[in-house]
């Protein structure tokens, strides 16, 4: 385990760095539209308040060498999909290419299967042009389950959606 990378709860004193890192078109373009752009302090306050209410926690700040560098979380599914969880993450652009996402995904995968015993399927949906995220998942033992053709629209561009999955028994 890389001890310099830690997943920890979001805190109110993370507002400035969260706003600074998240207010970036290059991050937004690879995330769902529920992530606002531009991203301001009000958005950060609402996000941290949402995270503070989680029991058990399922969205974390990613810390590298005592500095917040991104966010990672689980979206726990319900009803007939209650055995599944979706993973989502982003890393601030100044920290790209340093292996941080790979380690953060490893840690949250372990956390998911340890803390949520009903979850047997962990998956991520990745926009077709986000090859770096696909490599992160592959390094963590996820496999490409399928490609949903013309499944989404982002920034007025229709894209394919690559679904990556890892099972508890993998």
pTM equals 0.95
More confident residue, 2 or 16: 16
Residue 38 preceded by cis peptide, ω within 30: yes
Tens digit of each residue's pLDDT (9 = 90 or more) over 131-164: 999 999 999 999 999 999 999 999 999 999 999 9
Provide the pLDDT for residue 169. Answer: 87
* Helices 41-52 and 15-22, packing angle to 10 deg: 120
Cα 101 to Cα 70: distance, rounded to the nearest angstrom: 9
Q: Mean pLDDT across the stretch 81-110? A: 97
25: confidence class by pLDDT, cuts 50, 70, 90: very high
Superfamily (CATH) of domain 5-122: Gcn5-related N-acetyltransferase (GNAT) (3.40.630.30)
Task: Write the DSSP assignment of 40-98 as a string of letters.
Answer: -HHHHHHHHHHHHT-SS--EEEEEETTEEEEEEEEEE--GGGTTEEEEEEEE-GGGTTS
Q: Mean pLDDT across the stretch 80-84? A: 97
Mean predicted lDDT score pLDDT of the chain: 96
Domain ranges of the chain: 5-122
């Amino acid at each position: 385990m890389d001890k310099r990378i830690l997943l920890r709860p979001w805190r109110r004193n993370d507002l400035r760095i969260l706003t600074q890192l998240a207010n970036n078109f290059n991050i937004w373009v690879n995330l769902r539209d529920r992530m606002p752009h531009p991203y301001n302090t009000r958005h950060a306050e609402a996000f941290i308040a949402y995270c503070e209410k989680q029991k058990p926690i399922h969205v974390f700040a990613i810390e590298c060498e005592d500095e917040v560098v991104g966010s990672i979380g689980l979206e726990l599914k319900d009803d007939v999909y209650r055995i599944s969880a979706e993973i989502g993450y982003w890393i601030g652009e100044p920290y790209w290419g340093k292996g941080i996402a790979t380690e953060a995904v490893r840690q949250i995968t372990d956390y998911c299967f340890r803390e949520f015993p009903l979850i047997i399927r962990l998956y991520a949906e990745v926009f077709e042009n986000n090859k770096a995220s696909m490599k992160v998942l592959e390094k963590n033992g996820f496999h490409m389950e399928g490609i949903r053709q013309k499944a989404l629209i982002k920034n007025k561009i229709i894209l394919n959606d690559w679904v990556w999955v890892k099972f508890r028994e993998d």
